Copies of this chain bind each other. A is one copy, B any other.
Amino acid sequence: MSTAAPLTGSKQAGHAENADVLEGLRLTPLLRDLDESVLQKLAAISHMVDHAEDIEICRQDEIADQLFIVVNGQLAGFTTAATGMTAVVEVIRAGETLGLATILARLPWLMGVRTVERSRLLCIDAEGLLTLVEQEPPLVTALLRAEANEFRALVRQVCDLKLRTTAQRLGCYLLSLSAEQQANTTAMRLPFDKRLLAARLGCRQENLSRAFAALRGFGVETHGARVILHDIAKLKAYAEPDQAFA
């Protein structure tokens, strides 16, 4: 584990990077309804950073001074208990944010955040964002909607953890990775390693292995990170993914 050391990018960037930032903002789903003038103002308080794999982006209990939007790559948010035990709260992907409510309320980070893989992040200055929020009501709407998405993802997890077995949670997770809309079979790669997957699902690694074994009877074949779903309908019937949240 290493601490944050951006590969490229800094606040003192030139015109090329500024265009890059503006393009990143334009491509961010949560900002898509904003006028060009608001995006320009956001660009002025943002910069782009590239991080290597497994880099600490921010530390639990520190005041959040930046909003991160994942441009590509993945971030994991985790909490460490007094006992040293760590729970992975959430893993987020391109276009998503983490801890927006915490940032906007100027509270200390609830979670530590690390890169899961090499990642490009849009970093928006929190103070600048709060100032801009007061000037640009449409930005409030966009941010509230992004917060609602984060909230929804957590509610979904709470329900998942309360209602489903580990094998069902793993099944739901694999189904969520599948882009397959029509056919009954699909192949995919796990987007991160099994240690992190176990932590995200809230189980020990040996239970994850048992869950993969249990899913074999529902057409789930694994070779390391490669996973084949041979019978999506059967897996759905077993794991019972929640359509309301799909």
Contacts and interface: CB of A to CB of B under 8 A. Distances in A.
Interface stretch (A1-9, A152-160, A176-184): A152-160
Given A87-B159, A140-B133, A158-B161, A79 B148 contact: no
A33 interface: no
A134 interface: yes
Interface in A66-108: 79, 81-83, 85, 87-90, 99, 101-102, 104-105, 107
Interface stretch (A188-196, A223-231, A237-245): A237-245
A133 B138 CA distance: 11
A244 B89 CA distance: 15
Contacts of A244: 60-61, 79, 81-82, 110
A163 interface: yes
A173 interface: no
Contact of A144 (B90, B104, B148, B202): B104
Q: Is the interface of A mostly helix, strand, loop or mixed?
A: helix
A137 interface: yes
A99 B158 CA distance: 14
A147 B99 CA distance: 11
A124 to B, nearest CB: 15
Q: Which of A87, A102, A133, A134 has most chain B Cβ within 10 Å?
A: A87
Contacts of A141: 105
Interface string A214-236: 00000000000000000000000
A102 B158 CA distance: 16
A170 interface: no
A133 to B, nearest CB: 7
Contacts of A85: 163
A153 to B, nearest CB: 10
10 contacts: A81-B242, A85-B163, A102-B151, A110-B244, A134-B137, A147-B147, A151-B154, A154-B158, A161-B161, A161-B202
Interface of A: 60-61, 79, 81-83, 85, 87-90, 99, 101-102, 104-105, 107, 110-111, 133-134, 137, 140-141, 144-145, 147-148, 150-152, 154-155, 157-159, 161-163, 199, 202, 240, 242-244
Given A88-B162, A111-B155, A154-B154, 4 more contacts: A81-B163, A105-B144, A133-B137, A134-B137
